Homo-oligomer: A and B are copies of this chain.
Amino acid sequence: MNISTSITSEGGAGQPLILNPSNRIRRSPVFDKVQAAGAKAWSIYNGTMIGQWFGTLADDCAHLKRAVQLWDVGGERIVEIKGPGAQRLLQMTTPRDLWKVNTTRCAYIPMVDSKGRLLNDPVLVRLADDRFWIALADSDMYLFLKGLAAGSGLDVEISDPDVWILALQGPLADDVAERVWGPSVRDIPFFGHAPVPVEGRDMVLARTGWSLQGGFELYVEGSENLPLIWDRLFAAGQDFDIRVGCPNLIERIEGGLLSYGNDMTEKHTPMEAGLGRHCVLDRDVGCLGYEALVAQREPARQVRPVDISGGPVPSVAKLWEITDQDGNFAGRVSSAVWSPDQQGNVAIAMVERAYWDAGTKLIVHASDGPRDLTVRARYWIGRHS
Contacts and interface: CB of A to CB of B under 8 A. Distances in A.
Interface stretch (A18-26, A96-104, A205-213, A228-236): A18-26
Contacts of A5: 1
A15 B41 contact: no
Interface stretch (A181-189, A277-285, A316-324): A316-324
Nearest to A288: B150
B16 A11 contact: no
A47 B261 contact: yes
Given A22-B43, A113-B146, A139 B138 contact: no
Of A146, A261, A262, the most chain B CB neighbours within 10 A belong to A146
B43 A19 contact: yes
Interface in A1-60: 1-3, 5, 7, 9-13, 15-25, 27, 31-32, 35-36, 40-44, 47, 49, 52
Contacts of A319: 23
A25 B318 CA distance: 9
Given A17-B42, A21-B11, A261-B47, A149 B151 contact: yes
A334 interface: yes
A114 interface: yes
A257 interface: no
A42 B43 CA distance: 12
A67 interface: no
B32 A12 contact: yes
A145 B15 CA distance: 39
Given A13-B35, A150-B288, A315 B21 contact: yes
A262 B92 CA distance: 33
Contact of A147 (B139, B146, B160, B266): B146
Contacts of A141: 143
A13 B5 CA distance: 19
A19 B32 contact: no
A9 to B, nearest CB: 5
Contacts of A318: 23, 27
B23 A44 contact: no
A114 B150 contact: yes
Interface in A105-123: 113-114, 119
A36 B14 CA distance: 11
A266 B142 CA distance: 12
Contacts of A36: 13
14 contacts: A2-B15, A3-B3, A10-B21, A12-B35, A13-B36, A18-B41, A23-B318, A24-B259, A25-B43, A25-B44, A92-B150, A114-B150, A140-B140, A145-B147
The 9 A-B pairs at the shortest CB distance, nearest first, are namely: A151-B151, A147-B147, A151-B152, A147-B148, A24-B261, A140-B140, A144-B147, A21-B317, A143-B144
